Chains A and B, each alone.
Chain A
Amino acid sequence: MAAKKPNVSKQELLDYYREMLMIRRFEEKAGQLYGMGLIGGFCHLYIGQEAVVVGLEASTKEGDQRVTSYRDHGHMLACGMDPKGVMAELTGREGGYSGGKGGSMHMFSKEKEFYGGNGIVGAQVPIGAGLAFANKYRGNDNVSFAYFGDGASNQGQVYETFNMAALWDLPVVFVIENNHYAMGTSQERSSSTPAIYTRGEAFGIPGEAVDGMDVLAVKAAGAKAVAHCRAGKGPYILEMNTYRYRGHSMSDPAKYRTRDEVQKVKEERDPIDHIREILVTGGHAGEDDLKAIDKSIKAIVSEAAQFATDSPEPAEAELWTNVYV
């Protein structure tokens, strides 16, 4: 059952627009820096999926935690981490969130309750339940969000976690970001059942399918899931039907899908265009207002890129630090 779309204010719409656009421009810039050799290794871009994390963050409060996979830049920006620190981590510099020692997949912020970034498919799912366990142990009403993809949803540890989360009524929202491709393997080729949100049924965990390209639908579903968790009713599953425009990583030739398929989603379901249209047709913002937002975001992203380029590499002595507390 899809949740009813809530009434949203003009300010909320503008915020969503701004936050989604920030992720997109940031990721485009990251792709550019990768091409220039400033970012190395693995770099998984979130372009296309922006509505998922922006919509869900709209239902969070201070103290709520989140943990996700290696496609994590969007989550960091959406929870309020500094674009400069994120970009500088991508370039492996001293000014990065992990001082250059983690890279794209391994960034954390205790301050923003962001617990990574995890390079192992599915590993963040029990960790997310562990964050919820800590909330319940302490008796607070915080909720954790464990984001994972359609690929990870076939991992055994996900179901071990579903079982424990339901058994112990842990306040965790399992967010399946179904972008339909586990690296190069389409969901049809990797999953025996298409409706991943139903996979909690065996454990008594409610789940629902959500249009993950519509930030308002995501927001509504997130609010419902969070209320369920905060009320002490245990975990909740949200399957976000979304799409990534770019390859799995920067080195992905993307031969497993057609250009037409990607183009069609961009034209018909783009999450940012969708909100932009609501803003304009609803008379909430004029083209000039939106241009001003675009411009301010461009400036923030440029500044982040500049910072990430200028920040020095970590001192050699850093090789030996942070192995132990």
Chain B
Amino acid sequence: MAIQILMPALSPTMEEGTLAKWLVKEGDTVASGDILAEIETDKATMEFEAVDEGVIGKILIAEGSEGVKVNTAIAVLLEDGEDASAAEATTAAPVEAAPVAAAPAAVAAAPVAVDIPAEDDLPAGTTFKSMTVREALREAMSEEMRVNENVFLMGEEVGEYQGAYKISQGMLDEFGARRVIDTPITEHGFTGLAVGSAFAGLNPIVEFMTFNFALQAMDHIINSAAKTLYMSGGQMNCPIVFRGANGAAARVAAQHSHDFSAWYAQVPGLKVLSPYSAADAKGLLKSAIRDQNPVVFLENEIMYGRSFDVPEIEDYTVPIGKAKVWREGTDVTIVSFSIGMQYALEAADKLAEEGISAEVIDLRTLRPMDTETVINSVKKTNRCVTVEEGFPVASVGNHISAVLMEQAFDYLDAPVINCTGKDVPMPYAANLEKLALVTTDEVIAAVKSVTYR
């Protein structure tokens, strides 16, 4: 029986990829382990090997095809004695999705372009260009490195590998090994080293492959970078950016899925940014690199491939410490940041169908937090739901609840509800991971609860 060769998932977050090149042609005999094709994922170009032996009966997806979904049949492998007609029969049969490749619902949504609301301060006639968060981050770093010789990028695989998540792709070529520096896998050491260089007046961007690994460097982020300005009575500042993927990706389990937003947001001396859109990723990262304080810049791996409209403005920056109202509404205020915004906005859409008008606020900066925008919104809606993927205890949402209780108590018509990730280490199993993460349905239920619907 002919075997379908399916588009493989070659990274935890891969939903689709480019079939860059076929290395076999129809009629070729292949053995297990032979390289069939080169496939470009969201992270890298990978070789795809044959698992079974046989003859390539038919190539279904031409090389150069982009956006090929995981589990799409890309070729048919004939067993001994079969002819091409078997290939026809096989392609007609429905494709059975391999269970291991099933992505959790949180990431199942295909990358879509999301409209962003017009910024008040954008000049009239501003044009936009669609860009992924990944490209936006790269543009921000590259633009700042072009204008400031003291800015450099340091981290694991940022140079020759072109970035573990391809954020720094091409930057080594443009800026050279002096300014795009591959480090050993020693977070504690290279973070301390970067902090020292910032004390000496350079502007390092430290990329953590993920913030989970920054736990090893926590001492330098907190004790060395965040506190020295204060301890020196204002003499010694630390102009540095710590950036990388934060929070859950997909199926990478407990040690690679931690959301540290609330941890860093607690520390005086740090600025903490966690953008959602590509425009904010770009504008805020540029602001972070220029900032004379240590900035923790929390990205999200799942968001890297998402596209948004980014203003085509030379030197586009977004101010630190300013939230953004994505959607105006009258019945409830939903406050979120980073990937949580996806659930907040989806919930707002569905709630609108039921006649509930939600105002959605993207905090963008977690420290210093723009609580004024949240308070003003709640004064109008009288209800608030917060959304984040982090753990529930001492969460960002908890802080917002406390601020609202202290500063807008008389305006609240219902207790604030914090939608968060569950209070467990992230499980690996697909179904359990889905349960552990916050969902759109939970946001909707919370809104209905605070609006007594």
Contacts and interface: CB of A to CB of B under 8 A. Distances in A.
B223 A123 contact: yes
B394 interface: no
A42 to B, nearest CB: 13
Contact of B269 (A119, A123, A161, A324): A324
Contact of A164 (B183, B199, B268, B292): B183
A115 B236 contact: yes
A13 B9 CA distance: 72
A160 B190 contact: yes
A134 B189 contact: no
Interface string A86-104: 0000000000111111100
A70 to B, nearest CB: 12
A156 B188 contact: yes
Contacts of B188: 126, 156-157, 160
Interface size class of B (residues with CB under 8 A): 35 or more
Contacts of B237: 325
Contact of A131 (B189, B199, B239, B292): B199
Contacts of B94: none
B233 A126 contact: no
B186 interface: yes
B190 to A, nearest CB: 6
A99 B233 contact: yes
A134 B202 contact: yes
Nearest to A159: B189
Interface in B262-321: 268-269, 271, 292-293
Contacts of B195: 126-127, 130
A157 B216 CA distance: 10
A98 B193 contact: no
B200 A130 contact: yes
B231 interface: yes
Interface string B194-237: 11111111100000000000000001100110001111111111
Contacts of A117: 231
Contacts of B12: none
Given A119-B223, A134-B202, A160-B186, A322 B196 contact: no
B336 interface: no
B234 A134 contact: no
Interface in A146-162: 156-157, 159-161
Contact of A96 (B178, B191, B194, B233): B233
Given A137-B152, A323-B268, A130 B196 contact: yes
Nearest to B191: A126
Contacts of A128: 196
A107 B4 CA distance: 68
Contacts of A321: 234
A101 B231 contact: yes
Contacts of B271: 324
A130 B193 CA distance: 4
B352 to A, nearest CB: 39
B125 interface: no
B270 to A, nearest CB: 9
A309 interface: no
For A65, A99, A323, which residue has the most chain B Cβ atoms within 10 angstroms? A323
Contacts of A130: 192-200
B184 interface: yes
A98 B235 contact: yes
Contacts of B219: 120, 123
B201 to A, nearest CB: 7
Interface of B: 152, 178, 183-184, 186, 188-202, 219-220, 223-224, 228-237, 239, 268-269, 271, 292-293
Given A96-B233, A131-B200, A157-B186, 14 more contacts: A115-B199, A116-B228, A123-B192, A123-B220, A126-B192, A126-B193, A126-B220, A127-B195, A129-B196, A130-B195, A130-B200, A133-B202, A134-B201, A324-B269
8 contacts: A98-B235, A99-B234, A108-B236, A115-B236, A120-B224, A126-B191, A126-B220, A131-B200
